[in-house]
Amino acid sequence: MNTLHKKGFMFYLKKYGNNYLFVAPFFILFAIFGIYPMFYSLYLSFVNWTPTQMTFIGMGNFQRIMEDEVWWISVKNTFYLLLINVPLMTILAIIFAYMFNENFIKGRRAFQLIYLLPYVTSTVAIAIVFRVLFDDSNGMINAALTNLGLPAVGWFRSESASMWTVNILIIWQWVGYNMLLLLGGLQSIDTTLYEAAYVDGSNRIKNLYYITIPHLRPVIWFCLIMSTMGTFNAIVPVLILHNGGPGYSTHVMAFWQYRQTFQNFRLGYGAALGLMILIITLIFTIPQVVKAIKTED
């Protein structure tokens, strides 16, 4: 610090100016498209925005959120989505990762690629395909159910069944990504631990419980954190599959924010909804991050 003070800022600017120029585009773009929108959105959450003027209303938007019945329906639907798909996709990812880590399975690389393809495919394209598959009248899913002697399901008419299509889509798309992470974690475990355990009379189930799962905990926590964050911001499956319907059965928090902001043009209210979603996401992810850090230590 003393050397910097003696030589001055201009000295280092002249000496390392070219280096600063190379990294400047990133920081300029990040400031324009990252920092500025974030603070402007925070400002919008305290105003009543119209195309002609903005009126400061303080906590008025947040008070309106507390009184918004559709918001609370969307909160309930989001947590329903969270409680179903996060545990299921994590458990399935662990099972698939454990299977593909075994040497006796042939064509493991091909299966890994197949399971990863949904993650790298556009969510919009997947949602369109799912809409065709689950079509109430001519969809392949209902045709298969009918051939098995089961009743057809009104996937797009029934409020109880509609959310399951969203759950299935999210699980199908993300389980491969989580599987790949967990597979990397499995392959990083020292095999001598298993060999020593077998010498001591252990078996596969005991090894899974006492060796595999404890070593995978940091990766499992990471998968849970990312899945939780993704669920709180899930909008494309809801938008393409159901557009929030039937009724409000598939309204989730991110979709209600989208509708208020870009369909009803209530930018101030939409910004306040976005801030509420951020706060709820942090409330549920920060304890997971702390737990993951403690687990790794």
Identify the pLDDT of residue 233. 86
Task: For 78-88, write each residue's pLDDT tens digit.
Answer: 999 999 999 99
The answer on pLDDT for 12 being more than 80 is no
The answer on pLDDT for 160 being more than 50 is yes
The CA angle 174-179-182, to the nearest 5 degrees, is: 130
In terms of pLDDT, which residue wins out, 1 or 277? Answer: 277
Identify the pLDDT of residue 55. 87
Identify the pLDDT of residue 4. 47
186 touches 212 (CB < 8 A): yes
Q: For 282, phi and psi rounded to 5 degrees?
A: -65, -40
pLDDT over 70, % of the chain? 95
- Output the CA torsion 206→211→215→221 (10° steps): 10
198-203 own/partner pairs: CB under 8 Å, 24+ apart: none
**What residues have CB less than 8 Å from 164, skipping those under 6 apart?**
155
Identify the pLDDT of residue 216. 87
How much is the mean pLDDT over the chain?
Answer: 86
The CA angle 216-221-226, to the nearest 5 degrees, is: 130
Please state the pTM of the whole predicted model.
0.84
- Interatomic CA distance for residues 280 and 287, integer angstroms: 12
Residue with tokens 């940091």: 218
**Two structure tokens written together for 78:** 């989001």
Which sequence spans correspond to the domains of the chain? 2-44, 69-296
The answer on pLDDT for 5 being more than 60 is no
- Please give the distance of CA 54 from its chain centroid, rounded to a whole number: 33
The answer on pLDDT for 162 being more than 80 is yes
The answer on pLDDT for 46 being more than 80 is yes
Identify the pLDDT of residue 189. 85
In terms of pLDDT, which residue wins out, 287 or 269? Answer: 269
The answer on pLDDT for 98 being more than 60 is yes
- Interatomic CA distance for residues 6 and 33, integer angstroms: 36
The answer on pLDDT for 1 being more than 50 is no
Task: For 217-246, write each residue's pLDDT tens digit.
Answer: 888 898 998 899 988 888 888 998 888 888
- 184: amino acid identity, one letter: G
Identify the pLDDT of residue 104. 65
Task: For 100-123, write each residue's pLDDT tens digit.
Answer: 887 766 777 777 788 788 888 888
In terms of pLDDT, which residue wins out, 100 or 259? Answer: 259
Which of 35-39, 191-195, 241-245 has the least mean pLDDT?
191-195
Identify the pLDDT of residue 7. 64
One DSSP character per residue, 190-240 reads -HHHHHHHHHTT--HHHHIIIIIHHHHHHHHHHHHHHHHHHHHT--HHHHH
* Burial class of residue 237, CB neighbours in 10 A (0-12, 13-18, 19+): buried
Q: Give the total residue count for the chain.
A: 297
Report the pLDDT averaged over residues 116-136: 88
Task: For 265-280, write each residue's pLDDT tens digit.
Answer: 899 999 999 999 999 9
**Two structure tokens written together for 183:** 């597979």
Class of domain 69-296: mainly alpha
Residue 259 pLDDT grade (very low, low, confident, very high; cuts 50, 70, 90)? very high
* Winning range, highest mean pLDDT, from 46-50, 160-164, 257-261: 257-261
From the list 174, 182, 183, 176, the residue with the least C-alpha distance to 217 is: 182
Identify the pLDDT of residue 6. 54
